[in-house]
Structure 1
Amino acid sequence: MNKHQQEIAKAHSLINEKSRTVSQDDWRLHYHVMPEANWMNDPNGFCMWNGEYHLFYQHHPYSPEWGPMYWGHVKSKDLVHWERLPIALAPSESYDKDGCFSGSAIEKDGKLYLFYTGNQWTGPDQETDLKQVQCLAVSEDGIHFEKINENPVIDKAPDGDVHPFHFRDPKVWKKGDMYYCVLGSQTKNRMGQALLYQSSDLIHWEFVNILAKGQGNQGYMWECPDLFQLDDTDVLVMSPQGVHPEGDYYHNLHQSVAVMGHFHQDKGNFTSEKWQILDHGFDFYAPQTMLDEQGRRIVIAWMAMWESEMPEQKQDWAGAMTIPCILSIEKEKLRIDPIPELASLRYDPIRYQKLIVDQNKKLDGVHGDCLEMKVSIDAKEATKFGLNLRMNETGTERTNLTYYVDEEKIVLDRSKSGKGPGGVRKAPLALQNGKLQLHLFIDKSSVEIFMQNGEKVMSARIYPERDSTGIEFFSDAAIEMIQLEKWSLKQSV
């Protein structure tokens, strides 16, 4: 057993010790990918290989706090039911001794390659004292990975206006006979940018160009860039750090955005248009996409946020993934919809039609802490209406979603959601012919809300008491609930 495999075995020993007690926590999610124990952040290596979906993730197996990064690993046949696999990567070599940071996966010659950032701390300040290089590991069975002898395959940042140390998160793809890779970076004066590389064999890489560079209030570092084509549009998805709030936008510590534009392959640059926020809630970071065998562009993200309070850490775990979603473009805007496969978890359906709601109302059978719900509401004469989710009997604990008709704005308020961080997030949202369409997923300690058929999304971790399972509708004037469908959801993870 080489040093890499020894480090993986050591980590598994500790995870196995903790997993039994961790699994008893009331906040453990039922249909979202989580670590078996201890820390999780960014999704990595999201791909299809041999007809199955593989998802890797940043993982610290020794603590529920962030630490030297490993790659956890799960796989699925349907993006719903996930099987845990052994840890794929551990820091074991001089070039990655302080962490196997984020990256991606690609198939070549029947083997699965992981492309990741090797991190080394060179001093006490983690913002300035670091060296980052790009590395490869390979597997013949999609489970056990070995780092190649040629590592690091990119051993330094390119010359020019590129910060020499902050240089990470490779996302690789193939077009024609060439492999391409986009990397997160910043300028020497701390403006976010993305770099483009190309290779004929995955091992020997050539710097092509600065793909895109920020300006104004577009952040000091672009993490986890992902470039792909959707219909006839090129899309750059990334997580800019250091964007300052603008009105109702950019109130999380760091953001996740999509930029639509055009990738000029001959020049190696990307001309962009307007940024679009991917999620208007609290907890959505480092999204990564993949193209599946059905031709769908699937996205998944870390459902947490840096420096946010995570009450589950006291139970020896931290972090989760969002539900997988499908990206599409409609009227030059990106739409995000939950995958239809999640319907396989439904049971105990409840339905209501043409129901008038005035002031506050609870409905028989509409409650729970692990559910899916679709609601179509005609606002009629109301100026304010919405839902209280995960509410206790007295109403003192609740997660509040309110639509303001005159402002054309939706507001998610978790100031009374229970333990953990509070806060309010707002998003512009117009009614469609006077109607609001909501598609909600609640899971133990999370809520994900899709609005107007994927036009806007809000995701949040919440930490209510076990008995806070009520759902209440409210309005300042009569509204019509045109249709409501609610299902309890089975556990799949």
Structure 2
Amino acid sequence: MNVHKQKIEEAEQSIAAVENEVSQNYWRLHYHLTPPAYWMNDPNGFSFYKGEYHLFYQHHPFSAEWGPMYWGHFKSSDLAAWERLPIALAPSEDYDKDGCFSGSAIEKDGKLYLMYTGNVWTGNNYDEQLKQVQALAQSEDGVTFEKLADNPVIAEAPAGNIHPFHFRDPKVWKYQDFYYTVLGSKTKQNTGQVLLYRSADLLKWEFVNVMAKGEGNFGFMWECPDLFLLDGQDVLVMSPQGVKPEGHLYHNLHQAGYVLGKLNYETGTYTHGPFHLLDYGFDFYAPQTTIDDKGRRILIAWMDMWESEMPTQNHNWAGAMTIPRIVTLKDNQLISKPAPEIEKLRKNEVSYQHVTIEGETSLEGISGDCLELELTIHAKNASQFGLKVRVSEEDKQETVLTYHKKEQLFIFDRSQSGEGPGGERKADVKLNDNELTLHIFIDKSSLEVFINEGEKVMTGRIYPSQKAVGITFFSDESIDIINFKKWHLEKSIK
């Protein structure tokens, strides 16, 4: 047996030993992808191959902490029901012995290719003493992968003002006759940037240019870049590290967002507009997109944040993915909406029309810890209103979503959400004809709030008690809940 297969078998045995115990943990998410056990971070290799969606992820299969990275693997025919597949990549070669870091996937000649960063530590200082290269693995069936003998296919960073070691997260695509990949990078003075490479065959790559570089408050490293064409615009998604807070923006350790522009494929230069966040909540990083057979651009991100407290680590697991989101362009902004296939998980609809709320009240049949909610609120003369979810009066727990009309701010407050980190996040939101629409996904330890048809999204991990299932509505003056629907959502992983 080769070393790669052996390492994968050892990892699978490690997971199998605790998987059943992990599955009993109350905070295990029902319809979000989580590792079967131990650690998960960035989505990788998100792709549509032979009629199915494949999602790989950064995975440490021996503890609930970040460690030498493997690639875990899920697949789905419909974005609603997912199946876990065997681990796809393990660190087994000289060029990736300390981790198969993030990357992407592309189909070529009927095979699925994974392009990833091989990482080697050259000393104990992980910020400075490392060597990163880009490598390929291929599969005939989308399940079992073999690393290419020609690896690494990009053995070193280019010359110039490019950091020689921080050089990772290839996202590959095809345009006309060539394959292209973007790589996350930084200058020697610690300014984030993205590099562009080109290849005729995926094996031999030429450096084209520094495609884009940060100016001003744009971070010291750009991770997980992703470039795609949407309605005539080239969208660059990336995760800049080290952006400093500005007002109520950029209060997470690291950010994830996008710029809109145009890539000149000949010169490799990208002209673009301002940076926008993709999510205004607490836990959203390293988003990656793919395009499916319906022509939709679908995005998934890691639903956690570096250096945040993760109470699930005490239960031998950590990390989750957001639900799949369909991204479209409207008025030069990306709009994110839940993939409609998630509706397949719905059960037990409860609906209300034209409910007047003043003060604080609850509605019959509206409670739970694994729900989808849709509501439209007419604000009338109220200046503050919203709802509380995952409420337990006994445990003094609640997660509060409030709209402040005067400031035009939507606030997600998890300071009393239970265990884990607290705090609040804010997003600028304008009412439409004095109405606010919310599409809310509550899971055992997460909350995703889509505001005004996906103009803004706020995501956060929360860790309430099992008793925290209440939902209440509140307002300082009378409001009208024009429409309200609630569904229980079933599990998504087979």
TM-score normalized by structure 1?
A: 0.99
Residue aligning to 2:126: 126
Alpha-carbon distance in 2 for matches of 1:395, 1:439: 26
- Output the amino acid matched with 2:82: W
1:385-429, Cα deviation, whole Å (9 max, x unpaired): 011110003472000110000000000000000000001100100
Matches within 5 A, 1:160-309: 160-309=160-309
Which residue of the partner structure matches residue 396 of structure 1? 396
CA distance in 2, matches of 1:434, 1:487: 26
Aligned alpha-carbon RMSD (Å): 0.6
Consecutive unaligned residues of structure 2, counting only runs of 5 or more, are: none
| Partner in structure 1 of residue 328 of structure 2 | 328
Aligned-partner Cα distance in 2 for 1:92–1:314? 29
**Could you tell me how far apart the structure 2 residues matched to 1:229 and 1:287 are?**
16
Per the alignment, in what secondary structure is the counterpart of residue 18 of structure 2?
A: helix
Amino acid paired to 1:248: H
Matched residue SS, 1:203: coil
Does 2:92 correspond to 1:92? yes
State how far apart, in whole Å, the 2-side matches of 1:51 and 1:397 are: 44
- The secondary structure found in structure 2 opposite 1:415 is strand
- Structure 2 CA distance, aligned partners of 1:394 and 1:356? 27
Q: What per-residue deviation string (whole Å, max 9, x for no partner) do you get for residues 424-447 of structure 1?
A: 100100000000000000010000
- Is the 2:327–2:334 Cα contact (8 Å) retained in structure 1? yes
1:426-441 equivalent positions in 2, closer than 5 A: 426-441=426-441
Give the secondary structure class of the aligned counterpart of 1:387: strand
Which residue number corresponds to residue 23 of structure 1? 23
Equivalent residue number for residue 412 of structure 1 = 412
| Aligned position for 2:345 | 345
Residues 78-119 of structure 1, C-alpha deviation per residue, up to 9 Å, x if partnerless? 011111100000000010000000000001111110000000
> Whole-Å Cα distance in 1 between the matches of residues 395 and 430 of structure 2?
29
Question: Given the two structures, how large is their TM-score scaled by the length of structure 2?
Answer: 0.99
Deviations 1:334-365 (A, max 9, x none): 10000000111111111110110000010001
- Which string of whole-angstrom CA distances, capped at 9 and with x for unpartnered residues, describes residues 192-245 of structure 1? 000000000000000000000001100000000000011111100000000000
In the TM superposition, residue 266 of structure 1 has moved relative to its aligned partner by: 1.6
Tell me, yes or no, if the aligned pair for 2:73 and 2:86 is still in contact at 8 Å: yes
| Paired residue secondary structure (1:235) | strand
CA–CA separation in structure 2 for the residues paired with 1:328 and 1:111:
29
How far residue 131 of structure 1 moved from its aligned partner, in angstroms, is 0.3
Q: Matched residues, percent identical?
A: 60
Quick check: 2:395–2:465 contact (8 Å CA) kept in 1? Answer: no
State the AA in 2 paired with 1:246: E
In 2, the alpha carbon distance for the partners of 1:395 and 1:10 equals: 42
Is the partner of 1:398 in helix, strand or coil?
strand
Matched pairs, number: 493
Deviation at 1:267, TM superposition (A): 1.2
| 2:358 paired with 1:358 | yes
CA distance in 1, matches of 2:153, 2:398: 51
Q: Which residue of 2 aligns with 1:492?
A: 492
Give, in angstroms, the shift of residue 141 of structure 1. Answer: 1.1
Are the aligned partners of 2:54 and 2:74 in contact in 1 as well (CA < 8 Å)?
yes
Q: Match of 1:397, as an amino acid?
A: Q
Alpha-carbon contact 2:37-2:61 (below 8 Å) kept: yes
3-state SS, counterpart of residue 22 of structure 1: helix
Match of 1:110 in 2: 110
The 8 Å contact of residues 233 and 261 in structure 2, kept in 1 or not, is answered as yes
Give the secondary-structure state (helix, strand or coil) at the position aligned to 1:119. strand
Q: Deviations over 1:122-162 (max 9, x none)?
A: 00100000000000001111111111000000000000010
Matched, 1:146 2:146: yes
> Hey, what does 1:466 align to over in structure 2?
466
Output the CA distance in 1 between the equivalents of 2:195 and 2:27.
Answer: 39
Report the Cα distance in structure 2 between the residues aligned to 1:414 and 1:395, rounded to whole angstroms.
14
The offset of 1:263, in angstroms, is 1.0
Which structure 1 segments of 5+ residues have no match?
Answer: none
Work out the CA distance in 2 between the residues paired with 1:474 and 1:275.
34
The residue identity in structure 1 corresponding to 2:440 is L
d(CA) in 1 for partners of 2:193 and 2:459?
26
- In 2, Cα distance between the equivalents of 1:396 and 1:239? 35
Compare 265-274 and 115-124 and name the one that shifted more: 265-274
Shift of 1:48: 0.6
2: CA distance, partners of 1:353 / 1:395: 31
C-alpha separation between the residues in 2 aligned to 1:407 and 1:277? 20
Deviations 1:151-201 (A, max 9, x none): 000000000010000000000001111100000000010000000000000
Secondary structure at the aligned position of 1:282 is classed as coil
| SS of the residue 2:267 aligns to | coil
Task: Measure the CA separation in 2 of the matches of 1:465 and 1:396.
Answer: 10
Partners of 1:127 and 1:446 lie apart in 2 by 31
- CA contact under 8 A between 2:358 and 2:474: conserved in structure 1? yes
1:247 Cα deviation from its structure 2 partner: 0.4
| Aligned-partner Cα distance in 2 for 1:353–1:476 | 20
Conservation of the 8 A alpha-carbon contact between 2:390 and 2:397: yes
Letter in 1 for 2:408: E
Secondary structure, aligned partner of 2:441: strand
In structure 2, distance between residues paired with 1:488 and 1:181: 41
SS at match of 2:289: strand
Give the corresponding residue for 2:75.
Answer: 75
2:244–2:250 contact (8 Å) kept in structure 1: yes
Q: Counterpart in 1 of 2:5?
A: 5
Cα deviation, 1:279-308, whole Å, max 9, x if unaligned, reads 000000000000010000000000000000
State the AA in 1 paired with 2:278: L
Q: How far apart are the structure 1 equivalents of 2:320 and 2:333?
A: 27
Letter in 2 for 1:278: L
Q: In structure 1, how many angstroms separate the alpha carbons of the residues matched to 2:114 and 2:491?
A: 30
1:379 is aligned to: 379
Structure 1 counterpart of 2:39: 39
